[in-house]
């Protein structure tokens, strides 16, 4: 559901950038109050895992479309909403900057749609209400499925509204929403069952990880090194090898736009801001579309060749593997650095003012 800049006007993009910046600052402040050192390495490792998981599109039968896991609900369940939002914002930023996945102008929209709505709406008002801090398997599974579906539906609707407010007349509200919501309902169901499976597994094996997401800092530490090592291995295998098996069908958002436009490029006028940010992204994105960058000669030769190799599945591609491993590593480092930075500020604050216990 990564939005491209062509779907967003500068006014909407700027507004959503401001909203994302405010939410980031708010989440950092809240996390600083309750930061648990156990979450710091978990933020990084889960960031790498979600980055890798988002590379794998699965085919939606009978539609010619595909979807990918969002991962925000897993992050919220294991990290709590504030750390989850910061981790998701890190992933989306890396994807936009270095892999041209989602536009730079639309980055604020993507952070809001894929970060805020799952972490601050679906998680507290759906997952927590249904799960209710229960260790019952059925309640946790039901909560994960319901929250994932609601999060994807809200995100899909937000995409439609952002394009409408941007004045994209080629994507009329009624038609766009009638395509976006059903296709993302299917994606939400898949995401829900994957999230529920993971939450159920953790509930059986390491229930303290679920409790740590909602309990304040200061509780006794728990050994999570085996969990971290396992997650790192899964992330590496997912990004390095399983990404070859991603569906070649267009993702739900692209599919919806294609159905409306007849698979023709949108004829929206491009502003100077669009052109500027597009140029910046082309220079920074070292692995556009999760592959090695190609020069103009290669692109021209590629367009003249038959599509046989492109349509091959699985698509065994060194560029995809390098992108998955590099992107996962970058997500791990950035999310981990955010956690360490907040922890450092948390430790320094009492020295310059009142202590937390000062009366």
pLDDT at 216: 53
| pTM for this model (two decimals) | 0.91
Return the CATH number at 42.
Answer: 1.10.1760.20
Q: What is the DSSP letter of 313?
A: S
The 10 Å CB-count burial string (b at 16+, else e) for 28-58 is: bebbbebbbebbbbbbbbbbbbbbbbbbbbb
Q: Phi-psi region for residue 250, left (φ > 0), alpha (ψ -120 to 50) or beta? A: beta
Locate tokens 């509930």: which residue? 203
Within 10 Å of residue 6's Cβ, how many Cβ atoms?
19
Asked, for residue 105, whether it belongs to a domain, the answer is: yes
pLDDT at 226: 83
- DSSP letters, 133-182, are T---HHHHHHHHHHHHHHHHHHHHHHHHHHHHHTT-TTS-HHHHHHHHHH
Domain assignment of residue 294, given as a range: 5-352
C-alpha span between 116 and 273 (Å, rounded): 25
Give the pLDDT band of residue 305 (cuts 50, 70, 90): low
Asked, for residue 357, whether it belongs to a domain, the answer is: no
Q: Which of 190, 164, 195 is nearest to 177 (CA)?
A: 164
Which residue has better confidence, 298 or 316? 316
Locate tokens 């692995």: which residue? 287
Asked, for residue 359, whether it belongs to a domain, the answer is: no
Residue 265's Cα: distance from chain center in Å? Answer: 25
Is a pLDDT exceeding 60 seen at residue 89?
A: yes
C-alpha span between 328 and 260 (Å, rounded): 34
pLDDT at 121: 97
Asked, for residue 300, whether it belongs to a domain, the answer is: yes
Is a pLDDT exceeding 70 seen at residue 120?
A: yes
Mean pLDDT for the stretch of residues 130-159: 90
Most confident of 17-21, 60-64, 197-201: 17-21
* Least-confidence region, from 97-106, 136-145, 312-321, 347-356: 347-356
**Domain count within the chain:** 1
Q: Phi-psi region for residue 155, left (φ > 0), alpha (ψ -120 to 50) or beta? A: alpha
Is a pLDDT exceeding 50 seen at residue 44?
A: yes
Mean pLDDT for the stretch of residues 156-172: 93
Asked, for residue 261, whether it belongs to a domain, the answer is: yes
3-state helix, strand, coil in the chain (%, to 5): 70, 5, 25
C-alpha span between 230 and 270 (Å, rounded): 46
Asked, for residue 358, whether it belongs to a domain, the answer is: no
pLDDT at 169: 81
Mean pLDDT for the stretch of residues 68-80: 94
Mean pLDDT for the stretch of residues 222-226: 73
C-alpha span between 305 and 320 (Å, rounded): 20
C-alpha span between 112 and 29 (Å, rounded): 18
* Least-confidence region, from 3-12, 181-190, 335-344: 335-344
* Least-confidence region, from 117-121, 186-190, 195-199, 330-334: 195-199
Angle between helices 225-240 and 39-54 (to 10 degrees): 20
Asked, for residue 81, whether it belongs to a domain, the answer is: yes
Mean pLDDT for the stretch of residues 16-27: 97
Q: Phi-psi region for residue 68, left (φ > 0), alpha (ψ -120 to 50) or beta? A: beta
Is a pLDDT exceeding 50 seen at residue 359?
A: no
Give the pLDDT band of residue 54 (cuts 50, 70, 90): very high
Find out whether 238 and 52 touch, Cβ atoms under 8 Å: yes
Q: Phi-psi region for residue 273, left (φ > 0), alpha (ψ -120 to 50) or beta? A: alpha
C-alpha span between 339 and 82 (Å, rounded): 11
For CA atoms 152, 153, 157, 160, give the dihedral sign: positive
Mean pLDDT for the stretch of residues 27-36: 86
């Amino acid at each position: 559901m990564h939005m491209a800049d062509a779907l967003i006007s500068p006014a909407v993009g700027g507004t959503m950038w401001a909203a994302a910046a405010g939410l980031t600052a708010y989440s950092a402040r809240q996390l600083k109050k309750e930061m648990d050192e156990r979450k710091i390495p978990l933020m990084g490792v889960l960031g790498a895992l979600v980055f890798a998981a988002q590379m794998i599109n699965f085919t939606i039968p009978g539609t010619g479309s595909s979807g990918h896991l969002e991962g925000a609900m897993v992050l919220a369940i294991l990290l709590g909403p504030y750390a989850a939002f910061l981790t998701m914002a890190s992933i989306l930023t890396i994807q936009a900057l270095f892999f041209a996945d989602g536009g730079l102008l639309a980055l604020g929209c993507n952070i809001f749609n894929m970060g805020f709505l799952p972490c601050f709406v679906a998680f507290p008002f759906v997952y927590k209400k249904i799960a209710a801090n229960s260790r019952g398997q059925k309640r946790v599974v039901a909560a994960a499925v319901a929250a994932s579906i609601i999060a994807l539906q809200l995100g899909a609707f937000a995409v439609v509204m952002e394009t409408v407010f941007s004045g994209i007349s080629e994507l009329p509200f009624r038609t766009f929403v009638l395509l976006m919501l059903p296709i993302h309902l299917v994606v939400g169901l898949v995401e829900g069952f994957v999230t529920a499976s993971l939450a159920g597994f953790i509930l059986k094996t390491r229930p303290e990880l679920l409790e740590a997401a909602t309990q304040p800092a200061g509780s006794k530490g728990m050994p999570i090194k085996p969990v971290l090592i396992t997650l790192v291995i899964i992330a590496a295998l997912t990004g390095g090898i399983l990404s070859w098996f991603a569906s070649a069908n267009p993702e739900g958002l692209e599919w919806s736009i294609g159905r409306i436009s007849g698979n023709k490029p949108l004829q929206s006028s491009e502003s100077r801001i669009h052109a500027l940010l597009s140029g910046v992204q082309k220079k920074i994105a070292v692995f556009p579309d999760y592959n090695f960058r190609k020069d103009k000669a290669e692109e021209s030769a590629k367009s003249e060749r038959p599509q046989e190799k492109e349509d091959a599945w699985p698509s065994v591609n060194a560029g995809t593997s390098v992108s998955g491993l590099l992107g996962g590593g970058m997500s791990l480092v950035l999310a981990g650095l955010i956690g360490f930075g907040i922890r450092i500020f948390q430790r320094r604050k009492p020295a310059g003012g009142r202590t937390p216990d000062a009366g």
